[in-house]
Structure 1
C-alpha cells in the first residue's frame, strides 16, 4: 500500500535527485567514472553586462556539468538588442566553459519566438524540435561543439 502525495517538498526533491544520480551512476560506466571527480558536480556559470549607470543590460545564467555548458537563460534588455551584446555574453560563457572547466560542448533550449536564429548564427545546430510545447509554440534544443 502506498500513499501518493503531490506537494512541493525540497527535502524529498533533493533525496530523489541523489537517489536518481546514484541509480544512473550505477547503470552508466561513463557516469561511474566521473563519481567523486570535480566533473561530477554542476558548477554555476553567470555572465553579466552592466550599462554605464551600472544597471543590468543583459546576462547569461547556466551551469557546467561533465564536459557540457548548459545555457539556462540568456537575456538582453530591449535597448541593447542588435548591438552584439548577446553574442558577447554567449562567447564569454563558452570561453569560461572551455578554458576553465574543460567543456567541449554547449546546449540551450529556446522557443521559436525567442532566439533559434541567434543561436544558429553563433554556430549552434538544432538537435531537437518539440512542436506545441507549450501549445502553439515550438521549442528547440540546440547544441554546439566548443573549442
Structure 2
C-alpha cells in the first residue's frame, strides 16, 4: 500500500470547483450508458431557465429560476411577492417554465425541493409527487423533494 501525504484546503476556489465538476461529469459519463448517450446532445448541457413576473410598473412581482439538464427541469427558486400572492402568479410562472422545458427543451420531467413552511401543497396541486422527505433539514424544518412527469 502506498501512503501519500495530502494538503487539505477549505478555501472557496471557483476554478477548482469547475475542474472538479468537469472531472466528476466525465467519470459519471464513462460509468453510465445513459449519461454517455447524452454526450454531445443539447440535453447534456445545463441551461438556465428564468421566468419573471413584472407588475404594471415593471417591478419584480415574482420569478422562477431553474435550469434544464438531461431532459429534466430543476426548479431552484420560485418566489412571489407577498402583495401578489393568491392571484395565480406562482402558477403562471411554474406553468411557463414547464412549457418551455417540455416544448422548447424536450424535457420529460421536473423536480423541486421545498420546505414544509413553503410550498409542498402548491406543487402537489400542480401534479408533483413527493419522492423524498428529510426531517430536520435544517433543524425544526422538513424538506421535500417533488417530481412531475411533463408529458
Q: Same fold (TM over 0.5)?
A: yes
1:74 alignment partner in structure 2: 78
What are the ranges of 5 or more consecutive residues in structure 2 without an aligned counterpart? none
Cα distance in 1 for partners of 2:121, 2:100 equals: 23
* Alignment RMSD: 0.5
Matched, 1:85 2:96: no
**What secondary structure, in the 3-state scheme, does the structure 1 residue paired with 2:98 have?**
helix
TM-score, normalised via structure 2 length: 0.96
Q: TM-score, normalised by structure 1?
A: 0.99
Write the deviation string for residues 98-118 of structure 1: whole angstroms up to 9, x where unpaired: 000000100000000000000
Q: 2:13 aligns with which of 9, 15, 18?
A: 9
Question: Following the alignment from structure 2 to structure 1, what is the Cα–Cα distance between the partners of residues 101 and 39?
Answer: 20
What is the Cα deviation at residue 38 of structure 1?
A: 1.2
Between the two proteins, the alignment pairs up a number of residues equal to 147
2:133 is the counterpart of 1:132: no
Q: Does residue 1:54 correspond to 2:67, yes or no?
A: no
Which structure has the larger Rg over C-alpha atoms?
2
Alignment of 1:37 with 2:41, yes or no, is yes
